[in-house]
Chains A and B, each alone.
Chain A
Amino acid sequence: MSSLPSHLPMAITPVWSAKSRPSCEKQLNAIPKLARVTAASKLTVRPRPEMVSTGIREIDLLTGGLPRGCLSEIYGPASSGRSSLLVASLAAATQRKEVCALVDTTDAFDPLSGAAAGVEFERLLWIRCGTNSPRRHGGTENKYGPVEQALRVSDLLLQSGGFGLVAIDLADVPVQVVRRIPLTSWFRFQRAVEPTPTVLLVFSQTPCARTCASLLLQMRGQMAVVRHRSSGAPTHTELFEGLQIEGELMRSRLQRKPVQSVRAAFATKAVRAG
């Protein structure tokens, strides 16, 4: 009771008995400032979000999948398997007949890798931000930089709604630039995606969404796998076969127990044109 404001009438401050509770609640509701406050006992428990597959079984076992209506963040250095997880997630989502959007900040998406992973391009909206931006009438350069373009586009996509998965690819953006993205942007995205079934994925080199991320996954590249060419080929050649990748669950708000450092490893397979 010490937290109640001092201007409350004396009639409601004394004893809270079972009999007087309804009348007290009525009096409390009569105070305009407190009328909108929901009692803690009446707060509804937020249901656990639906989890969807990432397309990689080991990651699904590690995290339980990707939560809908939440912001999930995947980070790691170059060649750590972030983009492999990205195309796998896009492939899984598009094969579930969901429309997905990829906000490609540095225009780095490789359609061939996507096709090899099984992405159905008919359901993928690819937004290529970057330097080759449109010129305004009169010949002046676009006023938005790649990161600002990506943030604006992401905002539009999330406000529009209807997407099964929205991925913001900041993987090639320098760490110092990513850290300069205001926290309010991530809060805005989180609030926009919260009441929707959209999975919001952010890929970067370092964690940037901080408290807004419900799931934080770190990726690490373990080793590259090579193989020698089969007989009949020149003897000196060996080809890059794939990557051994490890993912570590750094934080998950979806599990009530404290998060332990749990890891999972998986392999990827390289594809080539021709």
Chain B
Amino acid sequence: MPFACIYIPDFPVEALLRAEPELRGQSVAVLEGKAPLQKVFAVNESAHRAGVELGMTKLQVEACTGLTLRPRSLLQEESAHAALIDCAQSFSPRVEDTACDTIILDVAGLEQLFGPVSKLARDIAQRASDLGLEANVAIAPNPDAAVLAARGFSGVTVISEGREAEQLAGLSVQVLFADKQAPQEKEEAAQFLETLSRWGIRNLRDLAALPKVALSERLGQRGVHLQQLARGETSRTLVPAEPPLIFEEMVELENPLVLLEPLAFLLNRLLEQICARLSACALAIQELRLELELDYARSGADGSADAHVGTGALVSLPRAKSRGPGRAQARQIFHRTLRLPVPLLDTKIFLKLLQLDLQAHPPGAPITKIHLSAEPARPRAAQNGLFLPPSPEPEKLELTLSRIAGIVGENKVGSVELLDTHRPQAFHMWRLATGESQNRRSDKKAKTDSNSNGTCAVTALRIFRPPARATVTLREGKPVRITCTKQKEIAGKILWTAGPWRFSGDWWEQEGWARDEWDIALQQEMGIALYRLVRDSLRGQWFVEGSYD
């Protein structure tokens, strides 16, 4: 039963490089601790060659030329670890979360799907690379041998059954203690290494060759276990992990952002990472949530935000307003949510939607932290019929609607639904649905509603929003003359009238209404025009509601 191990060397550095891929190829060191006592926590190979060692102080490593220093980010490490698990789960459902930088997966029976194990290992490494992580991948007959091989050999390694000891022989004994992170474990590991060093044991071949009984007498069961590991003879059960489907990416900024353009670059990167993870899980995004941590204190203190106000600026509040929350509440969270009508997985569309949304709703203060999370859903699997009329593509429609909302306003675009009341102009608008949901709703309505009449056209009314107030002269209870101050063309003698159509409603509530509707004809320049004249019986006011056309 083969197992594969994915190991990320220098994990804190890799997590950082995943968020800042432009640093790949440079010497990078990750610092941990509070200033000024920051020490090097992790370095990449290039920095290691330049002489940077773990535990060096920031002052010491600052002298190195070409070295990029970054503070450790636990948020980025969490995101990278989640991406690593997603990568493993895209190949096998049985995945063990061994350590933050190590994942073991059961690959038994996957040859039918992915081909030989060597190809599978390369595919896993490629998938990890697509997610922004350079990984060592090893496949071995047992989990521990796979872990040792992944930690000891760079790139892709395949250990065939029965040759574990032979292939692991060249590895240093330090590989056995590479996963010890706690101080007590580190101390114990140091003692073992010192003992083995004194015995002249440098690699796993030497350790495997030691007599078992003698080793047990000197190092106890722990020593025997280490020898079994060195021989690749251990056998244990995998502990599968089922992490919740949470897709979120975060980035903390050293310098606050005040412009939309650089924010778009960061959002693009986060979106690419989330989309890659979702793609690995064969999922799409139903809802996208953006949380921005805003630094109101900074926007008011140094005035740097005001300097950037202009096209694409995220900060455009006056300084007095930006100081509003005060020092105690200087940091606030700005939320935006994009609810998509259909599950999508297109970075460009998400980025454009977020840009349009942020242009319409600027945060109002410099941004210090970006948190992007996605609600996963199964991707849309709809095949349109050959004889169905064309309809807008959901992706394009969503973008178009967002752009239109930017022009006319969010509440001014969409589909309309009449409310179940006799109150005039009672409707509300909602976002236009597409695809299956549209058809379902329409079919449901067709069953219940038989409102349409196919025989005679309907005289449409053109509504004046808001209604035009009018002054009406009555004779024998009928309107005979009208004057409208806002619409000059609605004035003069009324040629004929019809009505009234009297009705009322909601009298049992506070907002009751009662009205008399008259239809009137007026002579105008281009001919006779028909209007609907309404008298509000409760308020005694006249107004023109619209024109018949």
Contact = CB atoms under 8 A, between A and B. Distances in A.
Q: Are A and B physically bound partners?
A: yes
A180 to B, nearest CB: 19
**Which among A122, A164, A226 has the greatest number of chain B C-beta atoms within 10 A?**
A122
A165 to B, nearest CB: 10
B408 A99 contact: no
Tier of interface size on chain A: 35 or more
Interface stretch (A32-40, A125-133, A184-192): A125-133
Interface string B431-443: 0111000110110
Interface in B392-407: 392-393, 396-397, 399-401, 403-407
B503 A162 contact: no
B101 interface: no
Contacts of B399: 160
Interface string A258-274: 00000000111111111
B528 A79 contact: yes
A50 B39 CA distance: 74
B416 A121 contact: yes
Interface stretch (B235-243, B333-341, B519-527): B519-527
A47 interface: no
Nearest to A160: B400
B499 interface: yes
Interface in A77-117: 77-88, 91, 95-99, 107-117
B456 A127 contact: no
A111 B427 contact: yes
Given A79-B547, A162-B397, A274-B503, A122 B438 contact: yes
B417 interface: yes
B416 A160 contact: no
A133 B405 CA distance: 10
B549 A120 contact: no
B460 A83 contact: yes
Given A271-B458, A273-B424, A129 B408 contact: yes
B475 to A, nearest CB: 13
B458 A138 contact: no
A98 B392 CA distance: 10
B432 A134 contact: no
Contacts of B265: none
Interface stretch (B29-37, B107-115, B279-287, B383-391): B383-391
Given A129-B408, A133-B409, A269-B458, A78 B529 contact: yes
Interface in A112-162: 112-118, 120-130, 132-134, 137-138, 142, 144, 149, 152-153, 156-157, 160-162
Contacts, number: 255
A152 B441 CA distance: 30
A87 B460 contact: yes
A108 B529 contact: no
Interface string B52-96: 000000000000000000000000000000000000000000000
A-B complex: 7 closest residue pairs judged by Cβ atoms:
A118-B452, A162-B392, A77-B526, A134-B409, A274-B503, A83-B460, A240-B519
Given A109-B462, A220-B527, 18 more contacts: A79-B547, A82-B549, A83-B460, A84-B459, A87-B458, A88-B457, A97-B388, A108-B464, A112-B461, A126-B413, A129-B408, A132-B409, A133-B409, A134-B406, A134-B410, A240-B530, A271-B458, A274-B505
25 contacts: A77-B524, A79-B530, A84-B457, A109-B463, A111-B427, A112-B461, A113-B460, A116-B452, A120-B446, A123-B442, A126-B415, A128-B412, A132-B409, A144-B407, A156-B407, A162-B396, A164-B389, A224-B530, A226-B496, A226-B498, A242-B459, A270-B459, A271-B458, A274-B422, A274-B501
Interface of B: 316, 360-362, 364, 388-393, 396-397, 399-401, 403-410, 412-418, 422-425, 427, 429, 432-434, 438-439, 441-442, 445-446, 451-454, 456-465, 477, 496, 498-501, 503, 505, 517, 519, 521, 524, 526-530, 546-549
